[in-house]
Amino acid sequence: MKKTPQVSIGMPVYNGERFIRGALDSLLEQTFTDFELIISDNASTDKTENICREYVAKDARVRYVRQEENRGSGANWTFVLDQAVSEYFMWAAHDDRWDPAYIYELKSILDVDESVGVVFSGKIIRDLNTGATNSYLTGYTTSRFKLFRYLFRLVQCDVNIIYGLHRIDVLRDLSLMNFDYYDVFLARWYELESSIRIVPKMLFIAGTDGVRVPHSVTGPKITYKTFFAIEYRLLRRHFGIFLGSILLSLSFFQRLINRPGK
């Protein structure tokens, strides 16, 4: 019988031929090796399929699934999560890179602290056109007060936490929802329903074509309606109608001053 790996990596991709080799090499060079890599190709029209099949042939940890038609980004993200069998899970974008110690460092925290639902690290934002980089380190809190944790994440809003290493049972309690700013909502949900830790090392390299803004898994269209409706339900459940409404107003103000293009 095949042993269940400790980590599942899900890579949803569409027309990723330009950068996917670098991403796959980066993942397969991790010092922690007990993982499966699930690639879901959303009916790419370029050479993505050929490249992925090359990696399947040379590494048994890689599994490639080609969708018969483009199902949309959200469905592709959901597919790789549904296929995962491990205790821990991470999404991987085809144009990102990871330090060789990325999975090892993040997993080490999940292994010893069951209260933690997701672990992320410091990050380097790399412009894929110019090669220019900027480094960022978001914070985390271990406060036992939910209100403080929410306010902290309101200020320390890092959309890339979605690319951290998740405890899969906790992540599946939330489920993947297809709306703009889901990545922002996910971090706040973790603060109230579980907890977040950040490894203070620059281990994640996010590829961008210039300006990276939160848009979740829905594509370039940015809308707020569903995000605020679902966030209000979360806030009302934890803080009641009155305080939940005040916190939602703060969230709205935070989104207003940090809207795309600012």
**Contact yes or no for 69/43 (Cβ under 8 A):** yes
Residues 6+ apart with CB under 8 A from 177: 185, 230
The partner residues of 47 in beta bridges, in order of sequence, read: none
Q: How far is Cα 187 from Cα 157, in angstroms, rounded to an integer?
A: 8
Region of residue 245 (left: phi > 0; alpha: psi -120 to 50; beta: else) = alpha
Per-position DSSP letters for 219-254, written without gaps between them: -S----HHHHHHHHHHHHHHHHHHHHHHHHHHHHHH
- The parts of the chain modelled with pLDDT lower than 50 are 211-216, 260-262
The one-letter amino acid code at 177 reads: M
Entry pTM: 0.92
Region of residue 160 (left: phi > 0; alpha: psi -120 to 50; beta: else) = alpha
* 190-212 per-residue burial string, b: 16 or more CB within 10 A, e: under 16: bbbebbbbbbeeebbbbbbeeee
Element (DSSP H or E) covering residue 122? strand 118-127
Q: What is the structure's pLDDT at 225?
A: 86
What pLDDT, in 10s, does the model give residues 51-81? 999 999 999 999 999 999 999 888 899 999 9
Q: How far is Cα 247 from Cα 256, in angstroms, rounded to an integer?
A: 14
Residues 6+ apart with CB under 8 A from 212: 125, 159, 206
**Contact yes or no for 98/30 (Cβ under 8 A):** yes
Region of residue 257 (left: phi > 0; alpha: psi -120 to 50; beta: else) = alpha
Q: What is the structure's pLDDT at 19?
A: 94
Rg of the Cα atoms in the chain: 18
